[in-house]
Amino acid sequence: MSHVDLTSETPLSFRERHASRIRQLRLYAHMFCGSFSSMFGLTLVVLFLILAAIGPSIVPYPQDTTGAVNMEARLLPPGAEHWFGTDEMGADIFSRVIVGARTSLWIGIVITGLGALVGVPLGIIAGYKGGWVRACIMRVTELFLAVPGLALALAIVASLGPGLTNCMIALAIVWWPGYVRLVEAKTLAVKEELFVESARSIGAKTPWILWHHILPNCMSPIIVKMSMDMGMAILSAAGLGFIGLGAPPPAPEWGAMVSVARSYMPDWWWYSFFPGAAIFLTVLGFNLLGDGLRDILDPRSRER
């Protein structure tokens, strides 16, 4: 943008030019910080991201996360040596839980990212184009949505064979239709706004309208859903891991850890408690964050 003013008025400073933007961001920050649950969610998410980033280099027993066996120290209760106790191989559960954060983050990003990458464009096209294009996209989407996600993912993993990658593929396959439905509904609403017709009347091409008018106005719900879905994807993957279709045993995956730990119930309760709590807190963090974002970005469309 040019700083030169046509008249002799003094040029506006950056702060003055973007005053409205700045005020809006400050309002958002004020609203977000004022809500305890949003801040709590943000804290949990940041903590989780830090652990995922530096976890493997700070854990007390790094070798335990790759399948080291230490039979003398098996199934010790939580204590000073092992904060979360040890498992049946004598591995430190604290180390394994922390390293598991990276796996979970990876799962969340891949599933949510792929889901949005496929779902958002399809949703926008379906909503804006209408006609048979929309009919085709929405029919397929509805078919996917007609089978509960976890059941369909189970069938896909069953035919692909167990494993973490296959779990992620399966969940990504069942995840995108949610974005199509959300974005299509939002696009249908935005399309009716006069500014879209106004853009058409000045001769804007369809890609321009989609990119400059429709997508920015669909962003709030997409961001909120992606935040929530990070948690939900981690939860679903943990579920598949719990069933025994996820990562094979020595890998530190939270769901699989709870699954193995189940046979050590009830006497060695800590074994299943801590990995499960890690899942719970991570998912809770992303949910609270998403909820807080929705409150500031989209105050009227709560729960839609």
Partner 1 sequence: MLSFTLRKLLTVVGTMLGIAVLTFVITNVAPGDPARLVAGPNATEDMVATIRTEYGLDRPIIEQFAIYMKDLLSGDLGTSIVSTRPVLDELIRYAPATLELVLVAMTLGVVVGVPLGMLSAVYKDGPLDHVTRILSISGVAIPAFWFGILMQLFFSVDLGWLPVSGRLPLVTRPPEMMTGSLLIDALIAGRFGTFQTAFSHIILPAFVLSFPCLASILRVNRAEMIEVLQSDYIVAARAHGLSSRRIVMIYALKNALLPTLAMIGLRFGWMLGSTVLVETVFDWPGIGLYAVSSALASDFKPVIGVTLLIGFFFIIANTLVDLAYAWIDPRLRRA
Partner 2 sequence: MTTSLLDIRDFTLDIDTFDGAVHVLKKINLTVRRGETLGIVGESGSGKTVLVRSMMGIGPKRSRIMDGRIVFDGTDLSTLDNAGWAKIRGVRISMIFQDPMTYLNPLFTVGKQISDVIAAHHRATGKPKAGKTARRARAEGLLSQVGINDPTRVFDQYPHQLSGGMRQRVLIAMALTGEPDLLIADEPTTALDVTVQAQVLELINDLVRTLRLTVIMISHDVGAIAKVAERCAVMYKGEIVEQGLTKDILRNPSHEYTQRLLAAVPEIDEVAGVHSLLECEDPAPFESETSPAKPLLTAVDLRKTYGLMGGGTVKAVDGVSLSVMPGEVLGIVGESGSGKSTVARMLLRLIEPTCGEIVFDGSSITGLAGEALRRKRRDMQLVFQNPHSALNGRHTVGDAIGEPLRIQTAMRGRDIDKRVEELLDTVQLPKAFKYRYPHELSGGQKQRVCIARAVALHPKLLVLDEPTSALDVSVQAQVLTFLEELRGELNLTYVFISHNLAVIRQICDRTIVMKRGVVVEEGLTDAIFDRPQHEYTQALLASGRQTSRAALL
3-state class (DSSP) for residue 37: helix
Residue 26, interface with partner 2 (CB under 8 A)?
Answer: no
Vertex 106, ends 102 and 108: CA angle to 5°? 115
The size of the interface with partner 1 (CB under 8 A), counted in residues, is 52
Q: How far is CA 284 from CA 9, 49, 113, 228, 291, in A?
A: 53, 14, 19, 9, 10
> In sequence order, what are the residues at sequence separation of 6 or more whose Cβ sits closer than 8 angstroms to the Cβ of residue 125?
133, 134, 137, 210
Residue 6, interface with partner 2 (CB under 8 A)?
Answer: yes
Among 49, 50, 142, 197, binds partner 2 (CB under 8 A): 197
- State in angstroms the smallest separation of the CB of 31 from partner 2: 9
CA-CA distance, 49 to 16, in Å (whole number)? 35
* x-or-dash string of contact with partner 1, 217-256, rule CB under 8 A: --------------x---x--xx--xxxx---------x-
Residue 1, interface with partner 2 (CB under 8 A)?
Answer: yes
Residue 288, interface with partner 1 (CB under 8 A)?
Answer: yes
Orientation angle between helical segments 131-145 and 164-191, nearest 10 degrees: 140
CA-CA distance, 240 to 237, in Å (whole number)? 5
Token pair, residue 158, equals 């069953």
- State in angstroms the smallest separation of the CB of 82 from partner 1: 20
Nearer to partner 1, 68 or 295 (CB): 295
Q: In the window 207-266, what residues touch partner 2 (CB under 8 A)?
A: 208, 212-213, 216-217
User: Residue 198's binding partner, choosing from partner 1, partner 2, none, with beta-carbon cut-off 5 to 8 A by kind?
Assistant: partner 2
CA-CA distance, 115 to 262, in Å (whole number)? 32
Burial of 25 (0-12, 13-18, 19+ CB in 10 A): exposed
* x-or-dash string of contact with partner 2, 126-165, rule CB under 8 A: ----------------------------------------
Token pair, residue 69, equals 């066996």
Query: Contact positions toward partner 1, by CB under 8 A?
Result: 37, 139, 142-144, 146-152, 154-161, 166, 173, 231, 235, 238-239, 242-245, 255, 258-259, 262, 265-266, 269, 272-273, 276-277, 279-280, 283-284, 287-288, 291, 300, 302-304
